[in-house]
Amino acid sequence: MRFRKWAILAVIVAIIAAVPTVIGAFGGFERTGGGEVAVVRNGGLLDDNRVRQIIEPGSSVTWIGWWSQIHRYPAQQRYYTITSSGGGERSGVDVVTVPSSDGVNMGIEGTLYFNLNLDHETLKSFDDKFGTRKFRSAGGGMYYPWESDEGWSAFLDQIIRPVIDNDLRSQVNSFRCAELVSSCSLVQNTSGQQTGLQQLGNNANIAKIQNAVNTSLSEDLKSTLGAEYLTNIHFNLSRVTLPKQVQDAVDQAQAAFAKVTEAQAKVAQARAEADANKARQDGYNKCPTCADIEKLKALPQGITVYAPGNSGGVALPTR
């Protein structure tokens, strides 16, 4: 009887030991999709937590060890979008607001394109530095950068976004408002107020900012992150806008210019009509008979008697 009890206890212990072993065995096989790379860290009961291996994109089933952790990162080109249309990394309206050299806050929208450096040693370093800590998302949640799209976006928002903002601020600050948005001249104390909109080469200046940002951003990101974790970096500056109050003032100024143009057209029309009347009167002075003929033409239909010069003249309609 005692032997039977010990046998049952041994079976229970064996089952308890076998369950996590079986789970660990089945969980020890992983593979990656075509657009992701994986960093595997040891996770066994007696293992350390160091990086065990790197799994290349689109791999076949691979043994990663007992209870190891797998951190998946994007292996294809990714982007970080800043836009007021609500389709960027941050929900709702999102622009980078930076001052121009003459103190006008400019709204900058654009997209940063980049790749994660897939060199194995660089990936290991990246996972050690950023994959072992959580970042706060726009919704307030805390995520690891390899933990779904929310985690990757949270990493970009907290680590990459400040570098983008700083580079845009340093470049935009070297241009005046009207050099980036020509209508800005309408509400500033410049000669543009008298001449209306001027062609100031805005697109060329925006291209200069974009090129300067692309030159500095790679080095700034490398310096901030501590290594060249991101490659193929390119920033596309898509739009420069004015603050709402300034834009409202521009709209009012443009409406005022339209009214001025309309008034000038009316003045020109009146002047032309006056010149025509004067020319007509000069002709009548030279040809009184012509004036009488014009008067007759202007009489209503049906008049049979006309007595010019007689205040009591009679005009009888035809019966």
Measure the CA–CA gap between 111 and 45, rounded to whole angstroms: 44
Q: What is the pLDDT of residue 86?
A: 62
Higher pLDDT, 28 or 64: 64
Q: Is the pLDDT of residue 24 over 50?
A: no
Q: What is the pLDDT of residue 25?
A: 45
Q: What is the pLDDT of residue 183?
A: 73
* Residue 105 CB partners (closer than 8 Å, separation 6+): 97, 98, 99, 243
| Assigned token pair, 132 | 């072992």
Q: Is the pLDDT of residue 184 over 60?
A: yes
DSSP, res 236 = E
Measure the CA–CA gap between 11 and 207, rounded to whole angstroms: 74
Q: What percent of the chain has pLDDT over 70?
A: 60
Q: Is the pLDDT of residue 317 over 60?
A: no
Beta-ladder partners of 96: 108
Greatest mean pLDDT among 35-44, 193-202, 251-260, 268-277 = 35-44
Amino acid at position 235, single letter: F
Cβ–Cβ < 8 Å for 235, 217: yes
User: 3-state class of 112 per DSSP?
Assistant: strand
Q: What is the pLDDT of residue 52?
A: 93
Mean pLDDT of the chain: 78
Q: Is the pLDDT of residue 319 over 60?
A: no
| Assigned token pair, 72 | 């998946």
Q: What is the pLDDT of residue 203?
A: 87
Measure the CA–CA gap between 248 and 61, rounded to whole angstroms: 60
Cβ–Cβ < 8 Å for 242, 103: no
User: 3-state class of 222 per DSSP?
Assistant: helix
Q: What is the pLDDT of residues 125-167, one digit of tens each?
A: 999 999 999 999 888 899 999 998 999 999 999 999 999 999 9
Measure the CA–CA gap between 100 and 106, rounded to whole angstroms: 7
